[in-house]
Structures are given as C-alpha cells and as structure tokens.
Chain A
Amino acid sequence: MNNTYSETAPAAGTRKFDVESIRSDFPILARKINGRNLIYLDNAATSQKPRQVIKSLTDYYEQTNANVHRGVHTLSIEATDEYELARSKVANFINAPRPEEVIWTRNTSESLNLVAATWAEQNVGEGDNIVITAMEHHSNIVPWQQLAARKKAELRYLAAGEDGLLDISNLESIVDSRTRLVAMTHMSNVLGTVNPVRELADRAHAVGAVILVDAAQSVPHMPVDVRSLDVDFLCFSAHKMLGPTGIGVLWGRYDLLEEMPPYMFGGDMILEVTYEDANWNKLPYKFEAGTPNIADAIATGAAVDYLNDLGMDNVWLHEQELTVYAMEKFSALNEVKILGPKDPTLRGGVVSFIHETIHPHDLGTALDQQGIAIRTGHHCAMPLIRSFDVVAAARASFYIYNTKSEIDALVNGIRETEGYFSR
C-alpha cells in the first residue's frame, strides 16, 4: 500500500460540541444505579461507548464478517478494506507518516511488552540504562524492570516533585550516553500531570536513545501528534477512547519497526514458509500473527471518527473546563486533598484525592449508592501512591459526556458521605 495519510485530522471538529447531544449517543447513560441516574466518573479506567461504535460492531458481524488478507471473495475483500481503513484512521489521528506504522495489539500493556520483547531485547545490553518516571502505570514499569534484570541493565527514574510535576532538573545526568530508552507516560493516570514529552524526546535523541510514550491517558483526551512530539514509539488502548476493549495500538517509527524481530509467530505474519524456514511479512503484518481482532479494529475506526467529528481541541477544552470547575468545588471540601498539580492547565481531566477521615473504599461504596462511579485503590501505580504516604486514593476522571452538574453531584455525594460517617 502506498497511501499517504500525512494530513492530520481537523482538530477543530465538524460537529458542534453540545454535551446534551453527545450524551444522547451513549445508551448506558440512561441506566439507573441503585435507583439514581448513573454519573460515570471512571473514564481513566475505561470510557463508555457511543451507539456509533456499538453499531459498527453489530454492522460488521451482521453484514461483513469474514477473515482478512485471505481469499478473493467479496466479504473477505470488504472486511480487509474496513480493517485497513481503520488502521489509516488511527494513523491519521496521531499524524503518523505511514499507516503501516500502526500495529494492532490487545491493549497498551501488550504494546509496551511488544517493544520490550523485541526492540529492547536487541538494543539494551549490560551496563546500559533505561529511564522511566516515578509516575508510571505498573504496565510501564514492570516490563522494564524485567528487561533490566535480564540484561544486567540499570532502571533509572525521573522523580515526581511535590508539586506533582515531573522533576527534570537533572535530566542531563539521568539520561546519559548509556541510556538506550526513555519510556514515559504522556499523562499520569493518577496525578493527571501532562508531561513535557518533546523536551525528553530531544534529550533522548541527543544521546542516541529512543523514546517510547505511554499515551493511554492522552490520546483519548487531547490532540496527539507523533511528529511534533518527535517520539519513536507510542502506545494506547481503544477502550479508553470510546472504542471496544481488547484492542490497542503500537505506533512505531518505520525504520525501527523494520529492524525489529517478530513478537509472535503464526499465520499472516509470514511471507513464505518452507518445511525448514520462514521469512517475515512486511509491516505491519510482521507483528500481527494469526487472525486479528477485526471487528474491534473497525470499531476503533468508528471511535476515531466520532472524536474527529467533535475535534480533539474541543474535547481537551471541555475537560479543562470540567477540571478547573472540579478543583474549585473540591477546594470547599475541608477534608479532601487533591493529588497532582494545583494549576489545572498543567493537567488533564483526572482528579485523584484523599479524604482525611473516610477511606476511599467506604467513599466508593457510599457514592455508588448515589449512582456515582469513581475509581478507588492504588490505580495500578503503587509506588507513586505510597510516595504520598497513603495506601489508596479515590479518583474522578472526566470525558466528553460529563457535566458540571455531575461534578456538583459528586461534591454533594462526598458531603452526604461525611454526614453519614459522622452520625
């Protein structure tokens, strides 16, 4: 394929950003939970799905279902076209130079593991180092811990400051001539902090290292452009951006992907097999062994269409507005302490907090009684949570369908819970 999808999608969008109209696209928002209207504030864990995405799944299974890249019958050709069109939509969405650089995986974790097992396996050696940050999700810590142990390499951390921002004051000494890889989150799933990816990319490249970005929390919520960020790998999941579960993306620079060995072996990833040997198919198929997750890939394309219609600039602005509002309302709760940057413009729509007297699980149960879904626990970032000298936190995270009145309901819900436990 020689398609050029170099033009990025219009970040301004073509549909008016009208929350009531958006809400009507999400069937689940009509649900009652414990007799109350659902208020879904656990979007950093997974987003809800609009009927356009759900319909794309049923349309595929009802009208198009066939295996891809094999056979010459009509359904197989249609399924292949739709599957590859979805790949192009994703490439376009992140401004990737070529659609073949987009590899379908199961989720962000698998994308990270793929790079650890292939590129890093070949390029990290004894005495080298890998640099990550103190605010990574477990899935961007453990693969590198394992790799470092296997290779006798060093795992280094960029610290998170008390202000919730990444401390890059010693960037030049931490990312040094023995650094092979910088692996960092674009946006913290706990603190909401948006990290200076471009600055780290420049430093990584200055020392000949490669930079990988965990974009699971950023791609769904803001315009992300792999060219202007100048990164080498980008990993994210469809299910946090209106798409289905079970499918994720690894984007990588073409020349790096070309040099990497396959991750799994099987059908579709080979070009030619003899009884003695095999050679590998071209990109992206080299990394897509076996029948892929066709329906969910196509539905991911529908999710991208939905977000493009709204415009990612507008998505970001909406969440900024909610975050500013939430932080202001939370400041009236005397027993609540918000984690992460105080300045709402330095963070995304994730507000983690600690209540001085109510444990997150008691709060979570009490809010659920009021129809409000938040996340409680360690948020898959145990080292970070422990650094605040607590064992768990509560988190409210926003998306396109959330409203200020839902934030009011959350704040009222916390007050009611305080009243309940002080009775």
Chain B
Amino acid sequence: MTGGMSGLSDMDDLYEAIILDHYRSPRNTAPVEEPDIDLDVNNPFCGDEFHIQLKVDDDAVSQVGITGRGCAISQASASLLAELVKGKSTDDVHTAVDLIRRLLKGEELTDEEADVLGDIEALAGVRKFPVRIKCALLSWIGLDDALKEFSSTK
C-alpha cells in the first residue's frame, strides 16, 4: 500500500461515520438533577473515564447523563449507550448490554436482536481491533453493574 488516505481506509470499520458523529457530538451529556445512580467509571490504563448519572422511576430509566474523556470509541460508545437506555426498563438495559457483549465477542446476532441495538451495531467494527474492545465496553459494563446493584438494594 502506498501513501495517501488509502493507508487508513482499513480503519473505516472501526471509525464508522455514526461513531465519529457520536464522538464529535455526544448525546445526553446534561447533568441529571438528584440522580438515583451517580458513578465514575474509568480505565486508568487507557485514560478513559466517564461520569454516569441515571434517574430510575418505576424500574425504568427516566433520565440519563453521561460525560467523559477518552478515545473516540469509548466516547461514542457511551453516547450510543445513553441514547439506548433512555426510557428503557432495567431488564431491557441488561438485555441490551448482554447483546453488545455477545456482539463484540464475535457472535452473530439474529435480526431481532440486531433491531434492539439499532445504530449501536456500528460498534461491531471494533472486533477487528481486539485491543480496543475494552474501550467500547467500559461505559456499558459500568452502567449495567450500577443498575444491577441499584435494583438489588430496592
């Protein structure tokens, strides 16, 4: 391969347009008033970090706010996560997190399962860059664990 942009075209699977869009303009970053869940998640090895806030009403996520610093993958993934969880029941969130884990592990999802994830399927490109999978999963696992803990103390 020689010069020009062609050298980086192999990254297109990793940095799909939707990923770059969420990275540049992350959604749901406004702070949540009196959150039920308020946690910091970080991966010190990468220098990725998030502040995640959730309000849970009647076992469903009514408000979400996620801010963070880190690479394009981790930040876009968190923004996609924030869009997905809004209005979802805690069970639906757990299901989606399991789906994303399976997707990034390399499993093929059924059409129905893919529909649940929607745009988030764009993260599948990270599978070709195994070292970056943890970037994509960091916010998801943090939020899922916090939600499980919150439900169990109810």
What residues make up the interface of A, taking CB atoms closer than 8 Å to B? Answer: 34-36, 359-362, 365-366, 369-370, 377-378, 382, 385, 390-392, 416-417, 419-421
Q: Which of B1, B8, B10, B20 interacts with A417 by CB under 8 Å?
A: B8
Can you name 19 A-B residue pairings with CB atoms under 8 Å?
Answer: A35-B1, A359-B70, A360-B71, A361-B46, A361-B73, A361-B135, A362-B15, A365-B11, A365-B129, A369-B8, A377-B45, A377-B46, A378-B44, A378-B47, A391-B70, A392-B46, A392-B47, A416-B5, A416-B7
Q: Which of B1, B20, B48 interacts with A36 by CB under 8 Å?
A: B1
Task: For A362, list chain B residues within 8 Å (CB).
Answer: 15, 71-73
| Shortest CB distance A181–B (Å) | 27
Do B7 and A369 touch across chains, with their CB atoms under 8 A apart? Answer: yes
| Shortest CB distance A390–B (Å) | 7
Query: Taking chain A's interface residues, is the majority helix, strand, or loop, or is none over half, making it mixed?
Result: helix
With A369-B7, A369-B11, A416-B5 already in contact, the answer to whether A421 and B47 are too (CB < 8 A) is no
Task: Please name the 6 residue pairs, one residue from A and one from B, whose CB atoms are nearest each other, closest first.
Answer: A392-B47, A391-B47, A359-B71, A361-B71, A420-B8, A35-B1
State in angstroms the CA–CA spacing of A391 and B135 once bound together: 14
State in angstroms the CA–CA spacing of A392 and B42 once bound together: 12
Q: A35-B1, A421-B72 are in contact. List 8 more A-B contacts (CB 8 A).
A: A359-B71, A361-B73, A361-B135, A365-B11, A369-B10, A377-B47, A378-B44, A392-B47
| Shortest CB distance B20–A (Å) | 7
> Which A-chain residue is minimally distant from B72 (CB atoms)?
A362
| Shortest CB distance A24–B (Å) | 24
| Shortest CB distance A19–B (Å) | 23
Task: For B49, list chain A residues within 8 Å (CB).
Answer: 391
State in angstroms the CA–CA spacing of A146 and B4 once bound together: 51
With A359-B72, A361-B132, A365-B14 already in contact, the answer to whether A391 and B48 are too (CB < 8 A) is yes
Task: For A382, list chain B residues within 8 Å (CB).
Answer: 44
State in angstroms the CA–CA spacing of A380 and B33 once bound together: 37
| Shortest CB distance A34–B (Å) | 7
| Shortest CB distance A412–B (Å) | 8
Q: Which of A391, A419, A420 interacts with B11 by CB under 8 Å?
A: A420
State in angstroms the CA–CA spacing of A392 and B46 once bound together: 7
Task: For B44, list chain A residues within 8 Å (CB).
Answer: 378, 382
State in angstroms the CA–CA spacing of A93 and B10 once bound together: 46
| Shortest CB distance A192–B (Å) | 20
Q: Mark B1-29, 1 if CB is under 8 A from A, else 0.
A: 10001011011001100001000000000
| Shortest CB distance A38–B (Å) | 14
With A360-B47, A361-B71, A378-B44 already in contact, the answer to whether A34 and B8 are too (CB < 8 A) is no
Q: Which of A35, A359, A365, A419 interacts with B5 by CB under 8 Å?
A: A419
Task: For B46, list chain A residues within 8 Å (CB).
Answer: 361, 377, 392
Do B7 and A36 touch across chains, with their CB atoms under 8 A apart? Answer: yes
Task: For B73, list chain A residues within 8 Å (CB).
Answer: 361-362
> Which B-chain residue is minimally distant from A420 (CB atoms)?
B8
Task: For B72, list chain A residues within 8 Å (CB).
Answer: 359, 362, 421
Do B1 and A366 touch across chains, with their CB atoms under 8 A apart? Answer: no
Interface members, chain B 114-154 (any A CB < 8 Å)? 129, 132, 135
Q: Does B69 contact A (CB under 8 A)?
A: yes
Q: Mark B71-85, 1 if CB is under 8 A from A, else 0.
A: 111000000000000
> Which A-chain residue is minimally distant from B75 (CB atoms)?
A359
> Which B-chain residue is minimally distant from A360 (CB atoms)?
B47
Task: For A365, list chain B residues within 8 Å (CB).
Answer: 11, 14, 129, 132
Task: For B11, list chain A residues within 8 Å (CB).
Answer: 365-366, 369, 420
Task: For A361, list chain B residues within 8 Å (CB).
Answer: 46-47, 70-71, 73, 132, 135
State in angstroms the CA–CA spacing of A378 and B20 once bound together: 24
Q: Mark B40-55, 1 if CB is under 8 A from A, else 0.
A: 0010111111000000
> Which A-chain residue is minimally distant from B69 (CB atoms)?
A391
Do A420 and B5 touch across chains, with their CB atoms under 8 A apart? Answer: yes
Task: For A34, list chain B residues within 8 Å (CB).
Answer: 10
Task: For B42, list chain A residues within 8 Å (CB).
Answer: 391
State in angstroms the CA–CA spacing of A365 and B74 once bound together: 14
State in angstroms the CA–CA spacing of A148 and B68 once bound together: 35
> Which B-chain residue is minimally distant from A393 (CB atoms)?
B47
| Shortest CB distance A60–B (Å) | 34
State in angstroms the CA–CA spacing of A420 and B72 once bound together: 13
State in angstroms the CA–CA spacing of A146 and B64 once bound together: 40
| Shortest CB distance B45–A (Å) | 6
| Shortest CB distance B128–A (Å) | 11
State in angstroms the CA–CA spacing of A382 and B46 once bound together: 11
Task: For A370, list chain B residues within 8 Å (CB).
Answer: 7-8
| Shortest CB distance B55–A (Å) | 27
State in angstroms the CA–CA spacing of A421 and B69 once bound together: 17
